[in-house]
Amino acid sequence: MDLPPVGLGTMGIDDERVVRTAIDAGYRHLDTAQIYDNEAVVGAGIDAAAVDRSDLLVATKLWVDSLGPSAVRPGTAASLDRLGLDAVDLLYVHRPRGDYDPEETLPAIEAVREDGLARHVGVSNFEPEQLAAAREYVDIAAHQVEFHPLYWREDLLADARANGYPLVAYSPLAGGRVFDEPVIRDIAERRDASPAAVSIAWVTSYEPVVTIPKASSRAHLEANLAAAELELADAEIERIEGIDREEELFPE
């Protein structure tokens, strides 16, 4: 999929005006999920925005209780009803657990795609062996994973590159922890930029990685969009790569 460098992550957003403002500010990739309990909010923001639906890329994720073969279609239909859409552009398996079984879940999702309820199929929080198994049943359009200066997986990046799909990085600011990281702060000061901008620029410096930071105010929304235009030097990228990695914020 051809995804913009920065999209909107909506976990925790409960005000449709934020979604509408993001679209007005230039966001075209909107990411939600059943477990966020805000698909209706995202749908209302889309409906209120002065942008054609065809110009937006809307993604949602099936939670673990919607992954059984008989639950995929009604789960997808319920998400579409909350979003107020006929189809989503990208339908993810949120996590490969619960009722997930690649031999049953993925053919059911592929059938939903073939019937026009979703245009592409993605996966999220998968391990390399799970990605390989999934490829037997669907064309993986995107893989959404935690990816930020304090936690990232080179093996998942390598799989995305080898198999030609984008890696969608969530939590690019590590839940705010990057603001206290000395290396990030030093580069930000030298660049007259914010630590958030440096972190987003670092994440999007990797091909084929895009990111979906969350923001609520128009100022932060616009700043996150602009951050992808900040080009870090190779030495700066290497300094950030050298930061001691912590455990992931959202483990399986």
* Neighbour count for residue 234 (Cβ, 10 Å): 8
Cα–Cα distance for residue pair 138/12, rounded to 1 Å: 30
**Which of the residues 36, 100, 151, 165 is marked catalytic?**
36
Q: Which residues pair with 151 in a beta bridge?
A: 148
165 is catalytic: no
Distance in angstroms (rounded) separating the CA atoms of residues 205 and 192: 18
Question: For residues 145 and 126, what is the distance between their CA atoms, to the nearest angstrom?
Answer: 8
Residue partners of 11: CB distance under 8 A and separation at least 6: 32, 33, 36, 38, 214
Q: Which residues are catalytic?
A: 36
